[in-house]
Structure 1
């Protein structure tokens, strides 16, 4: 049965992969990102399945607008993928200005809080699901990633609290692995990381070991549409045994 899924950060990378996988599986999607051109292309290619609203996710009113768009276009909302996020500042705690931390937290954490508050009423009705795209950095230390890693740890905690508070909604956080995205290009170009850790990311790219956005997108699409209650409140890695059945 076709579901209606909202995806943030949908213009490129993992978000675009998720959107494309959902469309290919005949689901309806409501997409948002700052870059309208990519969203317009998806809409033109799939006019009956795609609705979109380009905008800044740190505009906290965008969540209510997206819910209204889902309801007016497709009649409701069944799932949400909170995919957007940034890596910068890649600096040690002693060197990163607090204002840069605030900017990252506004994007990676507080916009997610605002979005969750906006979608909760619709997901209560549909008994739907939120998938929060987290990171292995939420539980592992990467020097100079304090802002990013701690923000993703906050995302995990948000997901767990939502699962406990809203028992009719499945809330699940996912570490998508090391994926061939623009963020990985940014990581490889960084001169602020620990050399040993930095070399590992370069080696993954050199040996063609990065996951593709196509594969990750299909896994996430399967998770958010199958909506297994057993996942609620959990944080899992995409290549772990618990998620093997969701792989394409």
Structure 2
């Protein structure tokens, strides 16, 4: 591709692009013609994704202010799409047994990290009349047992979404949110349970066809590619077997 043609391509940045929803989203966006910048802590993982899709890998820990500043400088003065995907859950204990350091980790990534990246890249997004997609969770809809820290973090992230939409109402930036329910990825539950594969597998036991990363990536890509005057405020996406946060059909 010529440098002139490349300069006309839309540019997307996906945080947490080393695996799961982030990596799948990077692939889907590349398929739609975006030049995708893949950002995550693990440079080897994001380099592999970037090489696969003809994108660019930038190592960045969203909890580190200096690394986010470097990310913003590398992106430059124009960004068409930011997918705030970096996040995750740690632990599933009741409040009486809460690991508050795990709570701190969840807030640092899901809340402060998301806010830090958004703040740093807003000028470039405004210059391009761009779009922000926040990947929250149905955990932001209400608390459930053992997840006070994660639900609190995702609720706070949703507050960022809603405040940004109000604050940017007169600027050419779309602010959108996707709230996935039960998504079976390689790492989400494994990380939550500190590498315990048995506990991770139990989350999805008996569930007929939970969502997979590609399902969410497909929805994100659809949201991002609507006409510029169309804003998808929030999309909730669940597997058919999950009627609500509390009601999941499990066979056997």
TM-score under structure 1 length normalisation: 0.81
Equivalent residue, structure 1, for 2:159: 157
Distance 1:27 1:38 in 2: 20
How many corresponding residue pairs? 227
CA contact (8 A) 2:211 2:238 kept: no
The 10-residue stretch of structure 1 (151-160 or 219-228) with the greater mean CA deviation from structure 2: 219-228
Instruction: Say yes or no: does 1:97 pair with 2:104.
Output: no
Distance 1:99 1:53 in 2: 27
Mapping 1:79-228, distance limit 5 Å: 79-167=81-169, 168=171, 169-181=173-185, 182-185=187-190, 201-204=204-207, 207=208, 209-226=209-226
Deviation at 1:102, TM superposition (A): 1.5
Change (3 A) 1:239 1:94: closer
Equivalent residue, structure 1, for 2:44: 37
Change (3 A) 1:11 1:192: closer
Distance 2:52 2:202 in 1: 40
Change (3 A) 1:9 1:191: same
Distance 1:202 1:165 in 2: 42
Equivalent residue, structure 2, for 1:64: 69
Change (3 A) 1:62 1:229: farther
Distance 2:166 2:42 in 1: 34
Deviation at 1:101, TM superposition (A): 1.5
Change (3 A) 1:191 1:94: farther
Distance 2:59 2:124 in 1: 21
CA contact (8 A) 1:144 1:192 kept: no
Change (3 A) 1:199 1:44: closer
Deviation at 1:200, TM superposition (A): 7.0
Distance 1:66 1:120 in 2: 13
Change (3 A) 1:227 1:130: farther
The structure showing larger relative contact order (alpha-carbon pairs under 8 Å, at least 6 residues apart) is: 1
Distance 1:187 1:111 in 2: 18
What are the Cα deviations for residues 40-77 of structure 1, in whole angstroms up to 9, with x where unaligned? 12333344xx1221132211233332232222xxx720
Equivalent residue, structure 1, for 2:247: none
TM-score under structure 2 length normalisation: 0.80
Deviation at 1:239, TM superposition (A): 5.5
